[in-house]
A and B are shown apart, each in its own frame.
Chain A
Amino acid sequence: MKITIKYFGVIAEEAGKTEEVLELDSDDIDVEFLKDHCFSKYSLSDTKSIQVAVNQNMGASGPLQDGDEVAFLPPFSGG
């Protein structure tokens, strides 16, 4: 399945990119697996503070569907 991943703020800086599309052989991928995969791939420093949004919904967990958009978000600092 195909998953679009978006990176923001300090995470984008550490990953060296703001977006990528992952083609995965398995159809049995969940948010937790993807987190571990990306966090270790880019050796992200402060993984505890990272929040995940799936298709722009915060706090998502569990299995992912083909075509999902997953965003890794550092602490918000607008305003």
Chain B
Amino acid sequence: MPKKIFIQGAIPPEKISDSIAKHQSKTEIGGHSIFLGQIRADEVDGKAVTAIEYTAYEEMAEKEIDKIREEAFEKFDLTCAHIYHSLGKIQAGELCFFVFTSSAHRKAAREANQFLVDEIKERVPIFGKEIFEDETHQWKVNR
């Protein structure tokens, strides 16, 4: 059973501090690495992005993220890894992606975090619709 990845709406900042707090009992950890994706108010042809609406092929996305997570555990000396991604409409400035890796030492935590973020962006069927201030939209393309 894949882990629950998707959160309806923005990721509340409290979720990050709660996650950190939950790891205080795991005293074999020496370093955490955290990536937070935030909705950027890009400007396209003079119009600002006000929100991104995310949809996903959820069953496939959860399986693929599980696979990527397993790859990360094989490649790096990780204690744990947690991944969350938003679905639905997320306003500019809000958080939509949270990747949290922990290890005995900083290097593995950092490298695994970067690996997870990059692979998820490339391999997971999640789709972002950028919504502009005048209610028009365009489909986001990852760079």
Assess the B142–A9 pair: CB atoms within 8 A: no
Residues of chain A within 8 A of B127, CB atoms compared: 8-10, 74, 76-78
- CB proximity to B under 8 Å, residues A52-68: 53, 56
Assess the B142–A77 pair: CB atoms within 8 A: yes
Assess the A77–B120 pair: CB atoms within 8 A: no
In this complex, the interface size class of chain A, counting residues with CB under 8 Å from chain B, is 10 to 19
> Is B123 an interface residue when CB atoms closer than 8 A count as contact?
yes
A36 shortest CB reach to chain B, Å: 22
> Is B54 an interface residue when CB atoms closer than 8 A count as contact?
yes
Which of B7-15, B24-32, B56-64, B106-114 forms part of the interface with chain A? Answer: B56-64
Assess the A78–B57 pair: CB atoms within 8 A: no
> Is B16 an interface residue when CB atoms closer than 8 A count as contact?
no
Assess the B124–A76 pair: CB atoms within 8 A: yes
Assess the B57–A74 pair: CB atoms within 8 A: no
Assess the A8–B37 pair: CB atoms within 8 A: no
> Is B82 an interface residue when CB atoms closer than 8 A count as contact?
no
Assess the B121–A71 pair: CB atoms within 8 A: no
The 0/1 profile, CB within 8 Å of A marked 1, for residues 84-126 of chain B is 0100000000001100000000000000000001001111111
Assess the A6–B120 pair: CB atoms within 8 A: no
Assess the B117–A76 pair: CB atoms within 8 A: no
Residues of chain A within 8 A of B124, CB atoms compared: 76, 78
Residues of chain B within 8 A of A71, CB atoms compared: 57, 60, 125
- Given A78-B124, A78-B126, 17 additional A-B pairs, CB 8 A: A9-B55, A9-B127, A56-B57, A71-B60, A73-B57, A74-B127, A76-B121, A76-B122, A76-B125, A77-B127, A78-B56, A78-B97, A78-B120, A78-B125, A79-B37, A79-B120, A79-B126
Interface residues of B (CB under 8 A from A): 37, 54-57, 59-61, 63, 85, 96-97, 117, 120-129, 139-142
Interface residues of A (CB under 8 A from B): 6, 8-10, 12, 53, 56, 71, 73-79
